[in-house]
Structure 1
Amino acid sequence: MPHSHDQSEVEEEQLHFSNVITTFQNYAQYSLSANNRRRKDFYTLPKPDQDLLSSLGYKAKLDQVDAAIAANADFLSEVVSDPEIFGHDLSSVTEDEPSAESHSPMNDSPMDHSHERVSSGHSHSHGHSHAHSHDGAPRIRRRYKPTDFDMDKLRSTLKQFVRDWSVEGREERDACYKPMKDALLLHFAGIPATERGRVRVLVPGAGLGRLAHDVAGLGFTCQGNEFSHYMLLSSHLILNRTDKISAYTIYPYVHSFSNAASDEAMLRPVTIPDVLPSGLPDGVDFSLVAGDFEEIFGADGNEPQAGQWDAVLTCFFIDTAKNIVNYLRIIHQILAPGGVWVNMGPLLWHWENNTTNDPSIELSLEEVKNLARAIGFRISNERTIDTTYTSNAQGMLGYVYHAAFWTATKI
């Protein structure tokens, strides 16, 4: 029987997971309701105005958005059609459960690359699959109504699919992932391609898994680590249940009519994936571990991880730290002597001004680099890379990060 503290964590994680499933299941109702609000607003206008807008195709566009939302809902239902792979008892979760529960956003930013907050103290390691188990976990029966923030996370997940697994996302991926892969190849240039399997690479904050997948595709042994159930459920679909290119079609840009250059741009379909996820070279060791980076790889009695990794690749990740000192200390600890840390990303501190009373240490870029040096890294190959993050390439508004890039070796 688990200790009460452990049992409480299991119950909290299971509750959160059931809430995420409910969010996926309520996407259609929520999104169609938002679009119907536009329809109601249309009918409040004077009849001549209605006729004029109808002649421009506005009413027809609302119907097209409904159809796109329905298509998205079918896809999202597919994502959560096999939630048992996480080992949670979801028999009490239904599609129409109302509730007053809510989660508070950590950092309300225009370009959210945050991980939602869950309580999980368990490492679930697996090769090319997501197998989770909590023996004896109680059935969760609390009702839940997804909040606007929950739905924003889900809409962001659709855009993450574009970033990681579509042809359209290639430019953004190349800006971020290519310099990291190039730095990895350069650092291990002395190792023949046929022997890269003995180089162990960790990608924390792996998201939907594309960077980790591509690193494995180069022949390295690679493990991704991810905290978000939105990401874990979605990556399970792509990595383990998708057997053809362009298997799915989504409409990620239909949720807001603001800054739309044209109806076609807003309604355009995006097909995923652009590569066959299972098409990795024979014998490549590629896996994903679910859970909190600090709890899985941290120093709290978890010495087996020390010195076990040859490379750590952090892309849009280090600013998810509550305590950046601990993040960098862990990266240094788990690297083998002479190991390499490749970083790419901004400093959008995710816990700054949080409403959950969590601590947050926010450093400047210069302070982060000085901290890394003090912990025992030698930083080289520094530069700034301008990049977007889940940006709508055809929209009228875009946020550009002046992201910091560096290669650092463990002294």
Structure 2
Amino acid sequence: MPIDPNDIEEEQIHFANVITTFQQYASYALNANNRRRKDFYTLPKADQELLASLGYKDKLIEADKAIVANAEFLNQIVANPEIFGHDVDLGDEDEQEDNEDHGHAHSHSHGEHGHSHGHSHSHGSHAHGSHDHGHGHSHSYDTPGASSSTTESIGKKRRYKPTEFDMDKLRSTIKQFVRDWSEEGKAERDVCYEPMKKALLEHFSDIPQEERGNFRVLVPGAGLGRLAWDIANLGFACQGNEFSHYMLLASFFILNRTSDINQYTIYPYVHSFSNVRDKEGALRAVKFPDVNPSSLPSGSNFSLVAGDFEEIYGTLDHDEDEPQAGEWDAVLTCFFIDTAKNIVNYLRIIHRILSPGGVWINLGPLLWHFENNSSNDPSVELNLDEVKELARKIGFEISNETTIDTTYTNNSQSMLGYVYHTAFWTAKKIV
């Protein structure tokens, strides 16, 4: 199918806007913290003195330092955006945007919708391409057809002013580093990933470990890539798929620009002072990664594909040089299936790309991302019983069902935590 030049230009613009959001994080977050200062100085003098005696002014200074540290890390991530095959022009670099006032959050035309309560399944652009890599090799994310000619007009526009919606996506990405790659995130991560890995190993229990590399596992909605990395570390040939440029930029950095355990430090909870028991609850540092991403065994087959799940894996066989039908031995979906606009098509694709007897392992809630959207996208919202019955009608035999309670990018020291009663199952392709 030929690539529409308008889609390419839209892709370039969106990618440049994401880069700008990373770069504008410091000014945006510092302005937000400075508003606390302004509010402080509107109080009566006696109240100011009381709060100062509690260390409130010092806390704001510490928050500034934490934000600057976060910004330094985020700037490393977007230092070389050309790795994505884009010729990035961010507009007038000398133009200083005032981030003091921002409008309400809004949805992008790319269909970006996040889970509320801090659980965000980010959606970004439609870039896609695959680069397999083994031990010690980089992986990149390309946009077919991307060229400098498509972006000549981008630089002539005003520098993009990130919205609160954009910054919320970025803050969610920061917390994803904790969930996927830190020791602090291990407890939350294990609740979700360990049952999935256990079910995968049980399904292939008759396969010697040295032969696991012959079996292909797909992880759509891979986020920052830890589950897919873990599966590759078990010896399977594993491919992750992700749609969000926020996640793709971050995952590329952590997987390809990291050489040591606990190499980086961020302050993921500095953006909110609500429901905090003590100063550490908001201002503590988190180091990561807890493993060296470059430590996969030699010869590991691990890849990431950037792009829309339905576009990449849902095309008909005759539209692809390498058809996906029957090519995957397992598909693992973690907090993913509710990103569907049409859940029927999601499950149909999963069924079609699995080999005969292949396994689909699922864990997640049903917080339908496009419900009541403002972008005129269609949305079909089923309850859990309907989803399982649909899976059976499509050709799955569901077993190993259970409910797993878990948080998602939760601040373990917060006074508030949302718990998802997620559905877990193993489903075998039978027809």
TM-score tier (shorter): over 0.9
Counterpart for residue 310 of structure 1? 329
Counterpart check, 1:63 vs 2:61: yes
Secondary structure class of the residue paired with 1:278: helix
1:112 aligns with 2:125: no
The letter of the residue matching 1:76 is L
The match for 1:331 among 337, 344, 350 is: 350
> Distance between the aligned counterparts of 2:90 and 2:132, measured in 1?
27
Rounded Cα–Cα distance in structure 2 between residues aligned with 1:95 and 1:113: 33
- Cα deviation for residue 6 of structure 1 reads 1.4
Amino acid at match of 1:366: D
Q: Is the 8 A contact 1:384 1:402 kept in 2?
A: yes
Give distance in 2, aligned partners of 1:155 and 1:51: 32
Judging changes above 3 Å, is the alpha-carbon distance between structure 1 residues 95 and 238 closer, same or farther for their aligned structure 2 residues?
farther
Alignment of 1:319-398 (within 5 A): 319-398=338-417
The CA deviation at 1:88 is 1.0
Compared CA separation, residues 97 and 325, structure 1 to 2 (3 A): farther
Report the equivalent of 1:137. 150
Which residue number corresponds to residue 246 of structure 2?
A: 230
Q: Could you tell me whether the CA contact under 8 Å between 2:351 and 2:394 is conserved in 1?
A: yes
1:36-185 matched pairs, under 5 angstroms: 36-93=34-91, 94=93, 96=95, 98=97, 103-104=106-107, 106=113, 109-118=116-125, 120=126, 122-127=128-133, 128-133=138-143, 134-135=146-147, 136-139=149-152, 140-141=154-155, 142-143=157-158, 144-185=160-201
The 3-state SS of whatever aligns with 2:400 is strand
| Aligned-partner Cα distance in 2 for 1:95–1:155 | 25
Question: Which of 10, 26, 31 is residue 28 of structure 1 equivalent to?
Answer: 26
Q: Report what 1:293 is aligned to.
A: 309
Whole-Å Cα distance in 2 between the matches of residues 57 and 34 of structure 1?
Answer: 19
Distance 1:121 1:264, change over 3 A: closer
Q: What is the percentage of aligned positions where both structures have the same residue?
A: 66
Confirm whether residue 264 of structure 1 aligns to residue 280 of structure 2. yes
* Deviation sequence 1:214-254 (CA, Å, 0-9, x none): 00000000000000000000001100110001110000001
Q: Indicate if the aligned counterparts of 1:309 and 1:334 stay in contact, CA closer than 8 A.
A: yes
Deviations 1:166-185, CA, capped at 9 Å, x for gaps? 00000011000000000000
Is the CA contact 1:203–1:222 (under 8 Å) kept in the aligned structure 2? yes
Tell me: CA distance 1:235–1:31, structure 2 relative to 1, closer, same or farther (3 Å). same
What is the CA-CA distance between 1:117 and the residue it aligns to?
Answer: 4.3
SS of alignment partner, residue 356 of structure 1:
coil
Letter in 2 for 1:328: L
Q: Do the aligned residues in 1 keep the contact of 2:130 with 2:303 (CA within 8 Å)?
A: no
| C-alpha separation in 2, matches of 1:230 and 1:103 | 17
Residue deviations 1:238-288 (CA, integer Å, cap 9, x gap): 001100011100000010110011011211000010000000011110000
Asked whether 1:201 is paired with 2:209, we answer no
Q: Distance in 2 between matches of 1:355 and 1:315?
A: 26
Q: Is the 8 A contact 1:126 1:287 kept in 2?
A: yes
Give the drift of 1:369.
Answer: 0.3
Deviation at 1:404, TM superposition (A): 0.2
Deviation, structure 1 residue 109: 1.6
* Cα deviation digits, residues 117-141 of structure 1 (max 9, x gap): 43x2643444341142523433322
* Residues 108 and 194 of structure 1, relative CA distance in 2, 3 Å threshold: closer
1:17-64: CA deviations, max 9, x gaps?
000000000000000000000001101111111111101000000000
Q: Give the TM-score of the pair, scaled to structure 1.
A: 0.96
Q: What SS is found at the alignment partner of 1:384?
A: strand
**For the residues of structure 2 that align with 1:231 and 1:121, how far apart are their CA atoms?**
13
1:89 positional shift: 1.4
Letter of the 2:253 partner, please give it: L
What letter corresponds to residue 142 of structure 2 in structure 1? Answer: H
Q: Name the SS of the counterpart of 2:293 in structure 1.
A: coil
Q: Is the 8 A contact 1:306 1:333 kept in 2?
A: yes
In 2, are the aligned partners of 1:106 and 1:355 still within 8 Å (CA)?
no
For structure 1, the residue ranges without an aligned partner over 5 or more in a row are none
Please say if residues 204 and 313 of structure 1, whose CA atoms lie closer than 8 Å, have aligned partners that are also in contact: yes
Q: Tell whether the 8 Å contact from 1:121 to 1:295 is kept in structure 2 after alignment.
A: no
Cα 1:309–1:261 change in 2 (3 A) is: same
TM-score (norm 2): 0.91
**Contact 2:113/2:122 (8 A) holds in 1:** no
What residue identity is the alignment partner of 1:138? T
- Distance in structure 2 (CA, Å) of the matches to 1:81 and 1:126: 23
Match for residue 262 of structure 2? 246
Verify the 8 A CA contact 1:154 1:230 in the aligned structure 2: yes
Q: Distance in 1 between matches of 2:187 and 2:230?
A: 15
Distance 1:225 1:95 in 2: 36
- Residue 115 of structure 1 and its aligned partner are, at CA, apart by 2.0
Aligned-pair Cα RMSD in Å: 1.8
